[in-house]
């Protein structure tokens, strides 16, 4: 871009350079903006300035280095510099759960606004991206206008973030929607300018009031958590009824009204967002006097936590009824694959619990060992999967990194003391592991279930309107072919009672960038 064009573009600050802020800053620089990232942690700022990502996120380090090299991306600790530099300030600081309550701890957001506000002496837009309880933005908007020398010329907007760790770059560059909570046409215009690139690429741009924008984020997380806990509740039922939850999930997922995303049964959700967001949402509903509206989220949370207890029970069963003197090898401790985030990680929780119950636990994770070691120094850490399971009486797959999904059961089998594995994510091909003489168990699949634990392999149920007509797959080669003009085909394609169902083979909004597809049959506990 020519220097004159550069100068005409909005100058952006990103306040808080954690998982969200760093991705946001680097992606905005890649879109051509000049960006200053500000954080109160000087060690983090120094690392980012050297081009070192302080956490693991595929593709982000390269983008960070490219931004620094272009001169469009820099980092600092000074709010005075931020106020002088920015036309637009994105608030990306953390909003963790409070110590002794379900509510969100807003001290980082408050600290950010209190530090920035008094320094804002010219018109600008402050845009909240952190996930906050509904009503927060309204309060902050008033405070900002009162404390900033520029007064109401310093406006507040809310623009919640939906990126998923492990996919942060793609989700930021090509978001599936942009929600702009604004109070003026000017604020909307600024947000449109910031997101001109993804908007041009087709991202829906939804303009709302501040409260609705805040709610979109927490409602989305509440829905995702509910979906994950729904299939995990079905896993509990399947175990009791000797049914197979993996096949149940696959069969349910073919209904487009239900879908396959977030329908993988397993150890449940964790991380720095979903658990604390649903709890903060419940706390906020109580404040608003609508507690019963969200009381189901308590059950969602309970189902999620029960999965961890069930995982420990299954591991103990395979260990012979007690962990005393047993050796357990753990594969994966990050809360999800392709991330080193261990915040509220179900995997790390299970590993630490089993250690506390008397086992010697050795952990391997492709990215999260450094963080895990700091949080749980009592566990042993290995440099590879084979090392982690060496001498193990029981092996646990707790985070479904590709490396573990592709692991060779024969190779790991040579290292262990006993070929016992619990697949906490229903991610392995059970038949392959059994063929290598492993005793394979999985959550939601009873020991005596036919086809137990197979993540795939059931009869497919398919259909689609091809050139010859509508093929209704009946399995076993008994396909019913209907001509396109056939009245039954017209009803199936054109609507009728089930008009809200997306037609098989017809890309719907979720298919726009392939997000809702799972070509590898790997259903994702996809989160924020």
- Select 231 or 273, whichever has its Cβ closest to ligand NAD: 273
Rounded least distance, CB 194 to ligand NAD, Å? 17
- Select 355 or 526, whichever has its Cβ closest to ligand NAD: 526
Among 14, 163, 231, 388, binds ligand NAD (CB under 6 A): 163
275 binds ligand NAD (CB under 6 A): no
Catalytic (active site) residue 112:
no
- Select 15 or 203, whichever has its Cβ closest to ligand NAD: 15
Segment 87 to 146, residues that bind ligand NAD, using CB under 6 A: 92-95, 108, 111-112, 115, 130-131
Among 133, 272, 346, 453, binds ligand NAD (CB under 6 A): 272
19 binds ligand NAD (CB under 6 A): yes
213 binds ligand NAD (CB under 6 A): no
Among 21, 270, 366, 455, binds ligand NAD (CB under 6 A): 21
Q: Whose CA is closest to 316, among 449, 446, 413, 441?
A: 441
- Select 38 or 389, whichever has its Cβ closest to ligand NAD: 38
Q: Three-class SS string for 43-101?
A: HHHHHHHCCCCCCCCCCHHHHHHHHHHHCCEEEECCHHHHHHHCCEEEECCCCCECCCC
Cα of 496 vs its chain's centroid, Å: 36
58 binds ligand NAD (CB under 6 A): no
Token look-up 């008994």 returns: 478
DSSP per-residue string spanning 419-455: -EEEETTS-S-HHHHHHTT-EEEETTB-TT-TTTT-S
Rounded least distance, CB 425 to ligand NAD, Å? 19
Token digits for 160? 């919640």
- Select 104 or 407, whichever has its Cβ closest to ligand NAD: 104
220 binds ligand NAD (CB under 6 A): no
| Number of residues lying near ligand NAD (CB under 6 A) | 28
Cα of 160 vs its chain's centroid, Å: 14
Between the alpha carbon of residue 209 and those of residues 138, 157, 290, the distances in Å are 10, 9, 20
Rounded least distance, CB 75 to ligand NAD, Å? 11
CA separation for the pair 249, 444 (Å, rounded):
11
Rounded least distance, CB 125 to ligand NAD, Å? 18
CA separation for the pair 235, 306 (Å, rounded):
11
Between the alpha carbon of residue 295 and those of residues 1, 152, 223, 231, 234, the distances in Å are 52, 39, 13, 19, 20
Token digits for 401? 């990194």
Helix/strand/coil for 37: strand
38 binds ligand NAD (CB under 6 A): yes
CB 27 within 8 A of CB 172: yes
CA separation for the pair 159, 161 (Å, rounded):
7
348 binds ligand NAD (CB under 6 A): no
Report helix angle 136-147 to 107-116, nearest 10: 20
- Select 161 or 338, whichever has its Cβ closest to ligand NAD: 161
15 binds ligand NAD (CB under 6 A): yes
40 binds ligand NAD (CB under 6 A): yes
Rounded least distance, CB 292 to ligand NAD, Å? 25
Q: Whose CA is closest to 379, among 316, 327, 336, 418?
A: 327
Rounded least distance, CB 2 to ligand NAD, Å? 33
166 binds ligand NAD (CB under 6 A): no
- Select 95 or 362, whichever has its Cβ closest to ligand NAD: 95
Between the alpha carbon of residue 471 and those of residues 29, 464, 511, the distances in Å are 48, 6, 21
Rounded least distance, CB 167 to ligand NAD, Å? 9
Among 6, 41, 105, 121, binds ligand NAD (CB under 6 A): 41
Rounded least distance, CB 20 to ligand NAD, Å? 3
Site residues (vs ligand NAD, CB under 6 A) = 15-21, 38-41, 44, 92-95, 108, 111-112, 115, 130-131, 161, 163, 165, 272-273, 528
Which residues are the active-site residues?
Answer: 273
């Amino acid at each position: 871009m020519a220097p004159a064009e550069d100068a005409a573009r909005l100058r952006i600050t990103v306040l808080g350079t954690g998982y969200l802020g760093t991705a946001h800053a680097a992606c905005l620089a890649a879109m051509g903006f000049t960006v200053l990232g500000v954080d109160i942690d000087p060690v983090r700022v120094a690392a980012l300035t050297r081009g070192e990502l302080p956490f693991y996120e595929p593709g982000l380090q390269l983008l960070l280095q490219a931004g620094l090299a272009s001169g469009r991306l820099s980092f600092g600790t000074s709010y005075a510099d931020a106020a002088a530099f920015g036309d637009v300030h994105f608030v990306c600081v953390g909003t963790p759960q409070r110590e002794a309550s379900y509510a969100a701890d807003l001290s980082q957001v408050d600290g950010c606004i209190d530090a920035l506000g008094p320094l804002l002496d010219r018109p600008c837009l402050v845009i909240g991206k952190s996930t906050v309880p509904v009503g927060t933005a309204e309060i902050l908007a008033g405070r900002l206008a009162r404390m900033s020398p520029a007064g109401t010329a310093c406006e507040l907007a809310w623009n919640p973030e939906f990126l998923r760790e492990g996919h942060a770059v793609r989700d930021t560059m090509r978001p599936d929607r942009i929600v702009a909570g604004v109070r003026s046409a000017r604020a909307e215009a600024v947000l449109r300018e910031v997101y001109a690139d993804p908007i041009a690429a087709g991202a829906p741009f939804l303009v709302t009031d501040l409260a609705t924008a805040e709610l979109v984020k927490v409602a989305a997380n509440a829905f995702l958590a509910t979906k994950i806990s729904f299939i995990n509740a079905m896993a509990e039922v399947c175990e009791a009824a000797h049914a197979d939850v993996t096949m149940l999930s696959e069969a349910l997922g073919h209904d487009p009204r239900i879908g396959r995303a977030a329908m993988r049964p397993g150890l449940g959700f964790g991380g720095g967002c979903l658990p604390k967001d649903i709890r903060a949402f419940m706390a906020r509903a109580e404040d608003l006097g609508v507690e019963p509206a969200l009381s189901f989220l308590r059950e969602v949370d309970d189902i999620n936590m029960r999965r961890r207890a069930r995982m420990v029970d299954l591991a103990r069963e395979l260990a012979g009824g007690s962990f005393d003197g047993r050796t357990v090898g753990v594969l994966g401790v990050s809360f999800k694959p392709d991330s080193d985030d261990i915040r509220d990680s179900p995997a790390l929780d299970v590993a630490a619990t089993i250690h506390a119950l008397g086992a010697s636990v050795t952990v391997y994770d492709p990215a999260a060992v450094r963080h895990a070691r700091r949080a749980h120094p009592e566990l042993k850490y290995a440099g590879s999967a084979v090392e982690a399971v060496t001498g193990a009486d029981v092996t646990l797959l707790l985070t479904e990194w590709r490396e573990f999904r592709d692991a060779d059961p024969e190779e790991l089998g040579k290292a262990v003391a006993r070929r016992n594995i619990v697949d906490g994510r229903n991610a392995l091909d059970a038949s392959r592991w059994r063929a290598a003489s492993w005793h394979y168990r999985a959550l939601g699949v009873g020991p005596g279930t036919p086809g137990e634990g197979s993540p795939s392999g059931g009869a497919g149920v398919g259909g689609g309107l091809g050139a010859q007509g509508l093929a209704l797959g009946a399995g076993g080669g008994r396909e019913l072919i209907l001509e396109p003009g056939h009245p039954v085909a017209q009803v199936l394609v054109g609507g009728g009672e089930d008009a809200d169902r997306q037609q098989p083979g017809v890309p719907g909004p979720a298919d726009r960038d392939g997000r809702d597809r799972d070509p590898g049959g790997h259903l994702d506990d996809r989160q924020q």
